[in-house]
């Protein structure tokens, strides 16, 4: 299933992600692909609000992963600095029913990512406009219906 959404401000992106956070359950993996500045972290901030996480999510670039606790627990992974590293990263435990997992730069750790997931591609149209292309298996289609 594929769903395309446009937003016209960072706030709208957060709102879209918030709605997704409201409709997901734990055990879900969401990958966010898009250039630097496209809105991956902004999206994750809105998603975290939808999980009733109170702490502000910021870019985990220097720590690779960060954990947040809320109604559902979130692990936010930024794989940017893992490019070309083919080793056991110890993330397996996070791709399990206890976590909502968000991965920025998933293309760099593609070989270890489970296939059952929601892929989001973000395109920067102009300064304030972004296009979000959501894609997932039929088994997760109801989740996307929550933001359609
Ligand atoms: N429609 C929009 N959606 C998301 N971010 C937007 C939008 N319009 C402008 N922005 C700005 O673009 C930047 C996105 O940064 P960030 O979320 O850190 O990107 P990334 O994590 O992809 O590098 C922020 O400064 C945000 O305010
Ligand atoms: Mg980021």
Query: What's the CA-to-centroid distance between 112 and ligand 2, angstroms?
Result: 20
| Nearest CA residue ID for atom 18, ligand 1 | 41
Is the per-residue pLDDT at 81 higher than 90? no
pLDDT, greater one: 81 or 74: 74
Is the per-residue pLDDT at 85 higher than 80? no
Is the per-residue pLDDT at 39 higher than 80? yes
Helix (H, G, I), strand (E, B) or coil at 105: coil
Q: What is the pLDDT of residue 61?
A: 63
| Nearest CA residue ID for atom 25, ligand 1 | 37
- Residues flanking ion ligand 2, Cβ below 5 Å: 40-41, 59
Helix (H, G, I), strand (E, B) or coil at 85: coil
For ligand 1, residues with CB inside 6 Å are 7-10, 12-13, 34, 36-42, 59, 128, 130
What are the tens digits of pLDDT across the range 122-142?
999 999 999 999 999 999 999
Share of the chain above pLDDT 70, in %: 96
Tokens of 78: 């930024």
Is the per-residue pLDDT at 15 higher than 90? yes
Neighbouring C-beta atoms of residue 90, cutoff 10 Å: 9
pLDDT, greater one: 126 or 95: 126
Q: What is the pLDDT of residue 115?
A: 86
Residue 147, phi-psi category: left (phi > 0), alpha (psi -120 to 50), beta (remainder): alpha
Query: What's the CA-to-centroid distance between 30 and ligand 1, angstroms?
Result: 17
- The label of the residue with tokens 């296939």 reads 115
Q: pTM for the complete prediction?
A: 0.95
Q: Which domains does the chain have, with CATH numbers?
A: 2-145 (3.40.50.300)
């Amino acid at each position: 299933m594929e769903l395309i959404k446009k937003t016209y401000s960072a706030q709208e992106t957060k709102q879209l992600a918030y709605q997704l956070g409201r409709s997901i359950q734990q055990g879900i993996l969401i990958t966010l692909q898009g250039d630097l500045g496209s809105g991956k972290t902004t999206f994750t901030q809105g998603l975290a609000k939808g999980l009733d996480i109170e702490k502000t999510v910021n870019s985990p670039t220097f720590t690779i992963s960060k954990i947040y606790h809320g109604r559902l627990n979130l692990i936010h992974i930024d794989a940017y600095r893992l490019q070309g590293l083919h080793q056991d990263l110890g993330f397996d435990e996070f791709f399990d029913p206890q976590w909502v997992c968000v991965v920025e730069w998933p293309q760099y750790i593609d070989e270890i990512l489970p296939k059952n997931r929601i892929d989001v591609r973000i395109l920067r149209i102009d300064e304030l406009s972004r296009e979000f292309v959501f894609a997932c298996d039929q088994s997760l289609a109801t989740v996307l219906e929550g933001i359609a």
